[in-house]
Structure 1
Amino acid sequence: MFAVIKTGGRQYRVAPDDVLEVGKIEGEVGSIVQLNEVLVVGGDTPILGLPTVAGASVAVEVLDHKRGPKVIAFKKRRRKNSRRKRGYRDEITVLRVSEILTDNAKPTKGPRPKKEKVAKEATKEDAAA
């Protein structure tokens, strides 16, 4: 099953367990957020929205908030000693799709538990001994 969602003025084709980077959305790291602008729900019988699918949503887990790569806008007018250099970095949210919901269903899966780094600590203790 897949879905086409719209967020931040862009459209994304997503399936469960996909990880994607979108423009910044509100939500704590590790929380589940529902995206309600679903344009298409695909599967055995695809459902097309006019413009969105009624009652459909995508539950996503917020993995991280970060900044994108630096974009530099440089303008130069030749022979006039005129230069402008401006740059910016987009705010990005990293999401993992947990499930695709239809018929106004609520998310059933919670956030995944964080993995503990036990193996690395054990190897450090062995190396020190």
Structure 2
Amino acid sequence: MYAVVKTGGKQYRVSKDDILKVERLPGEAGEIVTLGEVMMLGDGGDVTVGAPVVDGASVAAEILEQKRDKKIIIFKKRRRQNYRRKKGHRQHLTVLKVTEILTDGAKPKPAAKKKAAPKPEKAADKPAEKKSAPKAEAKPAAAGGKDDLKKLSGVGPVLEEKLNDAGVTSFAQIAAWGPKDIEEFDEKLSFKGRIEREGWVEQAKELAKGEKE
């Protein structure tokens, strides 16, 4: 059996156990979501076409992952106007695995509950553990002191102060950022994609080499 289901303004042909990426849906990994806009059902030679949807039909799917798609670049230019605008966009996606194709108003089976890991026994002599630091924690600053972060493209005194307040004081720290670090600092400091757009990591690597020399 297969179904044609609509979500996020797009239509997908799905069967049981198919994996598909759709526009972001609310929910956490492991949850079951129901897609109610079924446009068509097919079972061998028997095909049911909705008007516009098939009554009582739905598709149940398990959320495997919440992720972001590959980055696309939007560039606008006007001739002889000295006008250039460059922006990046990464679409939020949900990865689904189709578990059931339902008819006649049937409801999906609940997701299997995962067993919680046993709690470790508390040692009477052990002091209370400190809370873990936030995810977007800056790496230790270079021993040589603060670098002039204003040398990075698009960084002025205000952005430099924001970075310093977050614990970022050297080119070596920025040069060591990976995709997760970039995303965390981008959201934490509201840079709106500036880090990747301006190429701070590549610039920081070159500047860090110059500082060493």
TM-based fold match above 0.5: yes
Deviation at 1:109, TM superposition (A): 6.5
Q: Which runs of 5+ in 2 are unaligned?
A: 115-213
Q: Secondary structure at the match of 1:69?
A: coil
TM-score (normalised: structure 1): 0.81
1:1-129 mapped onto 2 (5 Å cutoff):
1-44=1-44, 45-108=46-109, 110-111=111-112
The amino acid across from 1:47 in the alignment is: T
Distance, in Å, in 1 between the alignment partners of 2:105 and 2:57 is 6
The amino acid across from 2:15 in the alignment is: A
TM-score (normalised: structure 2): 0.50
Distance, in Å, in 1 between the alignment partners of 2:47 and 2:110 is 23
Aligned length in residues: 113
| 8 Å Cα contact 1:38/1:56 also seen in 2 | yes
Q: Secondary structure at the match of 1:40?
A: strand
What is the root-mean-square deviation of aligned Cα atoms in Å? 1.6
| 8 Å Cα contact 1:32/1:111 also seen in 2 | no
Q: Which has the higher helix share?
A: 2
Which structure would you say has the larger Rg?
Answer: 2
Q: Which has the higher strand share?
A: 1
Higher relative contact order (CA 8 A, sep 6+): 1
| 8 Å Cα contact 2:72/2:89 also seen in 1 | yes
**What is the identity percentage for the equivalent residue pairs of Structure 1 and Structure 2?**
55
Q: Which runs of 5+ in 1 are unaligned?
A: 114-129
Distance, in Å, in 2 between the alignment partners of 1:76 and 1:90 is 23
Deviation at 1:26, TM superposition (A): 1.0
